[in-house]
Amino acid sequence: MLNLSPSTVKEHLRKAQRKILEELIGG
């Protein structure tokens, strides 16, 4: 398993959320 720090996980989640939102709004 990957050993990710909470801050890294949060950043990944934020980027994923942003991408999904942009796809929903733009697409």
pLDDT tens digits for range 1-27: 577 899 999 999 999 999 999 999 997
- E strand map for 1-27: none
Report the pLDDT value the prediction gives residue 1, as an integer from 0 to 100.
59
- Distances in Å between the Cα of 8 and the Cα atoms of 14, 16, 21, 23, 24 are 10, 12, 20, 23, 24
The model's pTM: 0.58
Pairwise CA distance, residues 14 & 5, whole Å: 14
Which residues are CB-neighbours of 12 under 8 A, at least 6 positions away? 4
Report the pLDDT value the prediction gives residue 5, as an integer from 0 to 100.
93
